[in-house]
């Protein structure tokens, strides 16, 4: 293969790889972009959620990463709840 052609092909593939990585990062940041503004809140600014784990109404603070203050990283219901909060589809009251 011609060295110039090989260099052009390598550069093109590297550029495409960098663009793909940047797009993937931007998509992930967009998906986990914090807490949606549409969640109902109480007088103190806490989100009104229905707890998946205990099936009860709760008013909880939400951190910048979309996790309720009662979040337990080891429990699958809590993980699902945090994902739903970030997506804006969590059950509320």
- Residues 15-72: tens digit of each pLDDT: 998 898 888 877 766 654 455 667 888 888 899 999 999 999 999 998 888 899 999 9
Supply the pLDDT for residue 2.
87
Q: Which of 93, 30, 16 is nearest to 56 (CA)?
A: 93
Taking residue 66's Cβ as centre, other Cβ atoms within 10 Å add up to: 23
Identify the band that residue 73 occupies on the pLDDT scale cut at 50, 70 and 90: very high
Supply the pLDDT for residue 48.
92
């Amino acid at each position: 293969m011609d060295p110039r052609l090989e260099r052009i092909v390598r550069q093109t593939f590297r550029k495409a790889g960098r663009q793909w990585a940047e797009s993937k990062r931007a998509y992930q940041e967009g998906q986990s972009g914090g807490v949606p503004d549409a969640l109902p809140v109480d007088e103190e600014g806490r989100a009104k959620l229905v707890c998946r784990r205990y099936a009860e109404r709760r008013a909880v603070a939400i951190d910048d990463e979309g996790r309720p203050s009662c979040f337990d990283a080891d429990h699958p219901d809590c993980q699902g709840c945090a994902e739903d909060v970030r997506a804006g589809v969590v059950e509320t009251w």
